[in-house]
């Protein structure tokens, strides 16, 4: 088996940058994360563990501009690849993924679908822009009680309060994600367009230079060897941004009961 050697995760880069990204970098991250997840959804899969550690940079073989989505251990088919029949909405499911970025419905035990990946991306973007989320650092006597506190905080805090200090597009993004019905196909073109319009309104330009990204500017200032280059993926990697390619994940497991079968 041949696997791509990729670079630091976005969590690693976030730490390198003092746990705060510039608005420009967050908007460029948003565009690539949404593109990766849209492709995954087109392959009938949901990720179910969107978090900074599961998105990595190209490892210095390219420009440092390309972000890959990794770790499909919790991914699952949300619809049948031939009939396109969507899995049914069920309740009483276990929390799946990382609680910090989990959707409210995931906390509530509702079966995940495309909307949940999108909501998790929203929390990641606010985390990057503000340096943290209000439900971090909560103390409890057990993991179960802590997850309940996180859920209650997410439910109680309003979207405008969560996104205070961020451009209004971030609140609009989260409101849109939370409004989606279980089987709805998210309009990712609309979401990417909203963030791209904000990018342009700020006077930002994407020069396809590694120095467009906060972490590469830090490397350059400290004597690193990052150089300007194309913003495409490094040669030899999956051009869609999936570490190791998507082919190995097309057999992702699905519960027997997901398409009307009996529960084991």
Q: Point out the residues that are catalytic.
A: 49
Burial of 172: CB neighbours in 10 Å, binned 0-12, 13-18, 19+? middle
**Helix and strand element counts for the chain (H, E):** 9, 4
Structure tokens at 41: 């959804």
DSSP codes joined into one string, 89-139: P--SPPP-S-GGG--HHHHTTPPP-HHHHHHHHHHHHHHHHHSS-TTTT--
Residue 92: what are its φ and ψ, rounded to 5°?
Answer: 80, 20
Residue 225: what are its φ and ψ, rounded to 5°?
Answer: -110, 30
Spatial distance between the Cα atoms of 83 and 102, rounded to a whole number of angstroms:
29
In degrees, rounded to 5, the angle at the alpha carbon of residue 29 between the alpha carbons of residues 47 and 199 is: 135
For β-strands 76-77 and 55-56, DSSP reports them as unpaired
């Amino acid at each position: 088996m041949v696997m791509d050697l990729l670079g630091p995760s976005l969590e690693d880069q976030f730490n390198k940058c003092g746990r705060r990204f510039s608005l420009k970098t967050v908007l460029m991250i948003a565009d690539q994360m949404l593109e990766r997840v849209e492709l995954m959804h087109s392959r009938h899969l949901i990720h179910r563990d969107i978090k900074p550690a599961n998105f990595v940079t190209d490892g210095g073989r390219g420009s440092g501009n390309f972000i890959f989505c990794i770790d499909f251990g919790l991914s699952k088919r949300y619809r049948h690849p031939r009939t396109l029949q969507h899995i049914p909405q069920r309740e009483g499911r276990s929390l799946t993924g990382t609680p910090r970025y989990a959707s409210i419905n995931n906390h509530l035990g509702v079966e995940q679908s495309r909307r949940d990946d999108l909501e998790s991306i929203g929390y990641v973007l606010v985390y990057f822009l503000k340096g943290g989320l209000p439900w971090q650092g909560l103390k409890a006597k057990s993991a179960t009680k802590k997850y309940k506190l996180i859920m209650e905080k997410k439910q109680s805090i309003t979207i405008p309060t969560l996104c205070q200090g961020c451009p209004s597009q971030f609140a609009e993004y989260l409101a849109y994600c939370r409004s989606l019905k279980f089987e709805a196909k998210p309009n990712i073109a609309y979401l990417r367009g909203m963030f791209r319009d904000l990018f342009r309104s700020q006077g930002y330009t994407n020069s396809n230079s590694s120095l467009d990204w906060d972490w590469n500017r830090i490397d350059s200032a400290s004597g690193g060897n990052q150089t300007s280059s194309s913003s495409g993926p490094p040669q030899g990697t999956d051009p869609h941004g999936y570490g190791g390619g998507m082919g190995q994940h097309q057999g992702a497991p699905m519960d027997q009961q997901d398409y009307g079968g009996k529960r084991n």
